[in-house]
Structure 1
Amino acid sequence: MSHVPTQPVHPDYAAPQPPKGNGLAIAGLVLGILALVVSFIPIVNVVVWPLAILGLVFGGVGLAKSKKAGKGKGASITALVTSILSIVLFFVMNAVFFKAVDEVVKETQKELDQSYDSATVGDDAKDNPVLKDFRISKCDVVTGDLGKELALHVDYTNNGDRRYSYLLEGEVLADGKKISDFMSTADNLAPKQTFTDKEAGILVSTEKLDTAKKVECKVVTAHRNDF
């Protein structure tokens, strides 16, 4: 029986090691892509910051490690690019979003301004449309069942394009001196509808009218709204 000699094993011989992976590059890639996706959602995209920062860190370390590991370079570069791009998109998307919100607020305020008008008579509001919707048609001292009283009538005509309610605040002057305030209202008038408030002077004190030689009624502020 023949003997087959075995080859001696050299002590300095080592089996080849499997190539090392680059987990940090993969982790950075995942975080960068996730940050990029979230960056398109305003407000929620605030989470972009921790994701993108970690993506940059892992991508940078993974890129450095790829030189020794021989893999992960592409994933690391992609992680860096997507992380940086997600930060840029964070600012862009939020700028667009808040600009849109600002436009909506302005449009809403514009609608509210159209729905509510006010004017102070005698100031620079001469062209305010609310001033064209009323006039004092009567301001006389008459004798009623309880003696002298103020007959104060206010005529309204809705010249607007929708239903409006009105509130007028004014003063009653006797011989040039203010003796009382008055208030007049007209509710829910349709466009072109008219109304006469004949009770505007009901709260004026009759005692102050007894000796008055001249009585004047004037509107101080006027309001209309479609609420």
Structure 2
Amino acid sequence: MSRVHDMGGRFGDGPVQPEPETEVFHADWHPRALAVTLACGSLDQWNIDTSRHARERLAPKDYAAFSYYEKWLAGLADMLVDKGVLTPEELSSGHAAGPSPLADRKLTADAVTGVLARGGPADRPAQIAATFARGDRVRTRRHAHNAFVDGGHTRLPDYAAGATGRIVRLHGHHVLPDAAAHGLGDRPEPVYAVAFAASELWARPEHPRDEVVLDLWQSYLEPAT
């Protein structure tokens, strides 16, 4: 199944246009979109992988037309309704029908600095052994799919599906996004830095001797024969 958001390595989108590092926001409402998204995250109704999948599930025509922060707000609106935080009527009217049971979880201004400083670490204690070691040759899944949920979230990019590379580093054990995005628990797995030759990923790479290094979960990989 094709995924509109999975644009990495896609031909025909034109060159990447770097922006000045000092230009963080392009419109007055962009920082507000960021702030309200982070504030709603403090309600503890979803995780970062759920929010990524919410943006991925936008209608293709909307995903293609929306700007970066428009995607954020559209995904946030869907999650607020899906999780029962707001009703569609409250969302469209801009007014709550009554007090929210989540009101005591609101993110106050004095707590913002501490919350952002803590972040949301995804590393976890090891539950399964690492199968691969540095230097091992591995192959990714032939299809970039979610093994638990049909059409679900995954961090394996389509352009790297079925490709052969080598392990260059073990990062430790981290939450598996394919499970966490769908309420299936953390299911932590070893995460590896895997190097792929440019010629393994694209038919006519500009620099064939270049490598692309991807961080990939263990269940995305199998030994290369």
- Pick the TM interval, shorter chain: under 0.3
Q: Which has the higher strand share?
A: 1
Q: Which has the higher helix share?
A: 1
- Scaled by the length of structure 1, the TM-score of the pair is 0.19
- Scaled by the length of structure 2, the TM-score of the pair is 0.19
